[in-house]
Chains A and B, each alone.
Chain A
């Protein structure tokens, strides 16, 4: 069955430190991959997406993600975290339809 796994439920980092959020997928073929951010009481905002081509994808707010086919992973990174990055982050995938499969999310806490 198709699935998306985010192994880390909670992550805490200090402001200014680097960040990496993990995402693994299980699909028959390479899916389209996404990272979304959700602040409390808000909807989902797209940070970046991967369809094909360059495996390092740049997104908004200084985020980037690297697609690794051999590891079935699409990890999100940021070199220096800001307090405003505290939120919940979701990895999602689709085989090409609008039926996205989401991971369970990683809640990021940023220490001042």
Chain B
């Protein structure tokens, strides 16, 4: 049973560019959440997708957007990259909108130069 997978593993971009990160949830899961983990910090909630809609959002600017596909996989898009966007981006999957345990993927390490 494959867990949560994320791609790519690592990514290097320059300021002002745009980036897309991808996440495939654990089998049977239909809810995807995204977190940003800056170096030396705990993860911070970006947003959550369920039934292809953004359901909850953390304190992140509109430069951060996402999408969920009919197969429940998800993308995180970040526009106009800033140096401060350098972080580990974690995807977590779960079932439904009522709380169930989240399972985290290994993350995508984004470096902005």
Question: What residues of chain A lie closer than 8 Å to B90, measured between beta carbons?
Answer: 43-44
> Nearest-CB distance from A80 to chain B (Å)?
27
Encode contact with B along A24-36: 1 for CB under 8 Å, 0 otherwise: 0000000010001
Instruction: Please tell me if A96 contacts chain B, counting CB pairs below 8 Å.
Output: yes
Encode contact with A along B11-53: 1 for CB under 8 Å, 0 otherwise: 0000000000000000000010101000011111100100000
Question: What residues of chain A lie closer than 8 Å to B56, measured between beta carbons?
Answer: 97-99
Instruction: Please tell me if A100 contacts chain B, counting CB pairs below 8 Å.
Output: yes
In the complex, the number of residue pairs spanning A and B with C-beta atoms less than 8 Å apart equals: 55
Count residues of A near B (Cβ-Cβ below 8 Å): 23
Q: Which of A43, A103, A104 contacts B4 (CB 8 A)?
A: A43
A99 near B106 with CB under 8 A, answer no
A101 near B40 with CB under 8 A, answer no
Range, interface on chain B: 20 to 34
Instruction: Please tell me if A67 contacts chain B, counting CB pairs below 8 Å.
Output: no
Please, which residue of chain B has its CB at the minimum distance from the CB of A46?
B101
A44 near B43 with CB under 8 A, answer yes
Question: What residues of chain B lie closer than 8 Å to A101, measured between beta carbons?
Answer: 45
A90 near B99 with CB under 8 A, answer no
Check A105/B42 contact, CB under 8 A, given A98-B31, A98-B48: yes
List residues of chain A with CB under 8 Å of any chain B CB. Answer: 4, 32, 36, 41-46, 49, 90, 92, 94, 96-105
With A44-B43, A99-B48 known, 11 other A-B pairs at CB within 8 A are A32-B99, A36-B104, A43-B90, A43-B104, A98-B33, A98-B48, A99-B45, A99-B58, A100-B102, A101-B45, A104-B42
